[in-house]
Amino acid sequence: MSEERARVEAVMTAFLNEFAPYAGLNLSGASLDDVESKLREVAELKIRHTGKKSPISGAMNLVGKVAPNERAGFGQFVQSVQKDIAAKIDRVEKTLNEIITNAKIESERLDVTLPGRRPRTGHLHPITILRQKIEDIFVSMGYAIEDDREIETDHYNFDALNIPEGHPARESQDTFYTTQGFALRSQTSTVQIRAMERRGVPIRIIAPGKVFRRDTPDMTHVPMFHQIEGLCVDKGITMAHLKGTVTEWLKRLFGEDTVTRFRPSYFPFTEPSAEFDFSCFKCHGTGKFESDRCRPCKGSGWIELGGSGMVHPNVLRAVGVDPTVYSGFAFGFGLERMTALMYSIDDIRHMFENDVRFLEQFK
């Protein structure tokens, strides 16, 4: 059998000779093309040395020439050589394939820090954003949202609001008039009147909208701005309800720890009247923010927001409501001022310049 064994060993030696260039292959620095061509060579090698027509397959025929008692041992020997050849080739193939796969993965590596592909998103105006937030709060508190004309008669802008002729607030230095003698509404209280005429009482509304005052534009004044006016008329409404309502919506907007302060004041359309302040949303009423004087409240801890009071009986009478049966409260405040405070906007004129660098800061 030694002759047969020698022939098998010769097959192996021939294979090893041919395989030698791939056995200790060093592919560092090799291009993908080189690796792929090596893989093709190895594939050919495999066909020649592992197929049915390969020398080692041929060696199986030698089994018959070996003494019967040695056949089993010889067969195992040939098979082991066969396996050995196949394993050597597979190992190289596997290595090459891994190199190729890795190279491909590497070449398709992405920079995950590049920006995602998305069209630029636009922005709602900060006044719209704040108005919608406040509307949501009041709708959830049972209020209806109302709006109406922006150019009004003196009746709706003044008379019905208990601002009689000769009252300083009526002078044209505060109010814009058209050449036909109509007024640009100077407060959204006009909507109180129109809404009560439409809906009657009891009523709970807020009226957001544009108002106009003859202020020359500067850092803290604009001749057009937005106001929200609230009105609640029913039997048994008191100033306690005014305070409770104003405090509640401010808490919902600025947080549960918000407190309010009411100070006696004067407005023609309310009696008694009050101005209301709320504890600063930034310093929570302490007047200090990060050990500096708090900016929105100028260190006072309070932010002055708006006017309010119990609806004047003359206003109720103007819409045919009996003030001995019904009472109500009203309040109003400006959105531009509030927005400017919330975001520390130093120049209120930015609100109407529509500089995209301004608009895109609000989401």
Partner 1 sequence: MNISYNWLKDLIDTDMTADDVAAQLTRVGLAVEGIHPHHDDYVLDIDLTSNRPDCLSHLGVAREITAITNSQLRITNDKGQSLKTEGQTLVTIQDTDLCNRFTARIIRNVKIGPSPQWLVDRLEAIGERPINNVADITNFVMHEHGQPMHSFDLDRLSGGRIIVRKATAGEKITTLDEVERELDATMLAICDVEKPVAICGVIGGLDSSITDSTVNVLLEVAYFKRENIRATSRKLGLATEASYRFERGVDIENIIAASDRATQLICELAGGEADDFVDVYSNKFVANAVTSADISESVKRLTGLSVETGECVRILNALGITASDDNKSFTFPSWRHDIAIEEDLVEEVARHAGYENITNELPPAYGAGEYQRSEPRKKRLRETLADMGFDEAITYSFIDTRHDGVFENVPELLDEQVEDKYITLQDSVIDGALRMRPSILPGLLDAVRLNLNFQRRDLKLFEIGKVFAAHAGEDNLPNEREILTIGVTGGEISEGKAVIVRELDLYDAKGALEAALDAVGVSNADFTAAEVKHLRIGQTAAVWVDGSRVGYIGRLSDEIAAGYKFKQPVYVAEVDLQAILDIATIPIAYRPLSKYPAITRDVSLLGDRNVSFSAIRDAVTEQNFELCRKVSFVDVYEGKGLQENERSITIRLEYRSDERTLIEDEVEALHKEILAHLEQKLAIKPRF
Please report, as residue ranges, which positions from 235 to 254 form the binding site for partner 1 (by CB under 8 A): 236-241, 243-245, 247-248
Q: Which of 139, 198, 293, 317 binds partner 1 (CB under 8 A)?
A: 139
Task: Give the separation between CA 23 and CA 18, rounded to whole angstroms.
Answer: 10
Q: Which of 18, 34, 41, 171 binds partner 1 (CB under 8 A)?
A: 171
Interface stretch with partner 1, choices 8-16, 19-27, 95-103, 112-120 (CB under 8 A): 112-120
Between 52 and 120, whose beta carbon lies closer to partner 1?
120
Per CB under 8 A, contacts with partner 1 among 68-87 are none
In this structure, what token pair is assigned to residue 113?
């820090």
110 touches partner 1 by CB under 8 A:
no
Task: Give the separation between CA 188 and CA 206, rounded to whole angstroms.
Answer: 9
66: Cα separation from own chain's centroid:
83
Cβ contacts of residue 243 below 8 Å, gap of 6+? Answer: 260, 262
Between 19 and 352, whose beta carbon lies closer to partner 1?
352
Number of Cβ within 10 Å of residue 44's Cβ equals 9
Provide, rounded to whole angstroms, the least separation between the CB of residue 245 and partner 1: 6
**DSSP-derived 3-state class of residue 278:** strand
Question: 32-50 and 68-107 are packed helices; what angle lies between their axes, rounded to 10 degrees?
Answer: 160
Residue 15, CB-side half-sphere exposure with 13 Å CA sphere: 27
347 touches partner 1 by CB under 8 A:
no
* CB contact at 8 A, 185 and 224: no
* CB contact at 8 A, 154 and 183: yes
Q: Which of 53, 119, 292, 344 binds partner 1 (CB under 8 A)?
A: 119
Between 57 and 153, whose beta carbon lies closer to partner 1?
153
In this structure, what token pair is assigned to residue 280?
């600063």
Per CB under 8 A, contacts with partner 1 among 175-204 are 176-180, 182, 184, 202, 204
Q: Which of 48, 210, 252, 288 binds partner 1 (CB under 8 A)?
A: 210
Taking CB under 8 A as the rule, which mask of x and - marks residues 2-41 in contact with partner 1?
----------------------------------------
- Per the listing, tokens 């294979």 go with 15
Provide, rounded to whole angstroms, the least separation between the CB of residue 345 and partner 1: 14
Between 52 and 118, whose beta carbon lies closer to partner 1?
118
354 touches partner 1 by CB under 8 A:
yes
Q: What is the DSSP string of 85-111?
A: HHHHHHHHHHHHHHHHHHHHHHHT---
* CB contact at 8 A, 262 and 275: yes
Q: Which of 57, 153, 154, 296 binds partner 1 (CB under 8 A)?
A: 153
Between 143 and 281, whose beta carbon lies closer to partner 1?
143
Per CB under 8 A, contacts with partner 1 among 306-335 are 310, 312-313, 327
